[in-house]
């Protein structure tokens, strides 16, 4: 499973990456914009995006809508910013961030994502004569 970190301040993203890698998680990339993260995401099969509420180029709701369904989002922000969010299906943690909360949440989300992936892999494969369409970024992203 891939982990992508997206924070407008690169230092914040690097601190989270260091914490995760120090505790055995493999972080694929750290980005400062949603657009750069989306380019990375569309080259991967599934994973987790850890994002701040405010990004310079896109609101987190728009960012989530542009992501493939095989990716989950963990939103990190101030208590005020998190309480104002209205998106369903996005887990969130408030700042100041406690390391154990982040680690447990990431572990839980990755385990849930792997369970979903295994169920998808058990579905019967389409006929061998079919050509599968490549995963494409929605036109509004």
Task: Read off the tokens for 27.
Answer: 């972080």
Is the model's pLDDT at 119 over the cut of 70? Answer: no
pLDDT band at 135 (very low <50, low <70, confident <90, very high): low
- Per-residue pLDDT tens digits for 22-67: 999 999 999 999 999 999 999 999 999 999 998 999 988 899 999 9
Q: Which of 42, 7, 23 is nearest to 107 (CA)?
A: 23
The domains found in the chain, sorted by start residue, are 2-119 (3.40.50.2300)
Residue 120 main-chain phi, psi, to 5 deg: -65, -40
> Under a CB-based contact definition with an 8 Å cutoff, are residues 14 and 126 in contact?
no
Buried b (16+ CB within 10 A) or exposed e, 108-119: ebbeebeeeeee
Which residue reads 């914490």 in tokens?
19
Reported pTM? 0.81
The reported pLDDT for the residue numbered 81 is 82
- Per-residue pLDDT tens digits for 100-118: 999 999 999 999 877 655 5
């Amino acid at each position: 499973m891939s982990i992508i970190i997206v924070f407008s301040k690169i230092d914040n993203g690097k601190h989270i990456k260091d914490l995760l890698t120090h505790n055995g998680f493999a972080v694929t990339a750290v980005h400062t914009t949603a657009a750069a993260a989306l380019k990375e995401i569309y080259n991967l099969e599934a994973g987790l995006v850890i994002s701040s509420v405010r990004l310079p180029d896109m609101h987190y709701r728009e960012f989530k809508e542009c992501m493939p369904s095989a990716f989950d989002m963990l939103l990190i922000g101030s208590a005020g910013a998190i309480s104002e969010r209205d998106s369903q299906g996005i887990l969130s943690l408030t700042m100041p961030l406690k390391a154990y909360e982040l680690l447990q949440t990431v572990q839980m989300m990755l385990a849930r994502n792997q369970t979903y992936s295994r169920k998808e892999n058990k579905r019967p494969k389409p006929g061998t004569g079919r050509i599968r369409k490549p995963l494409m970024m929605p036109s509004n992203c």
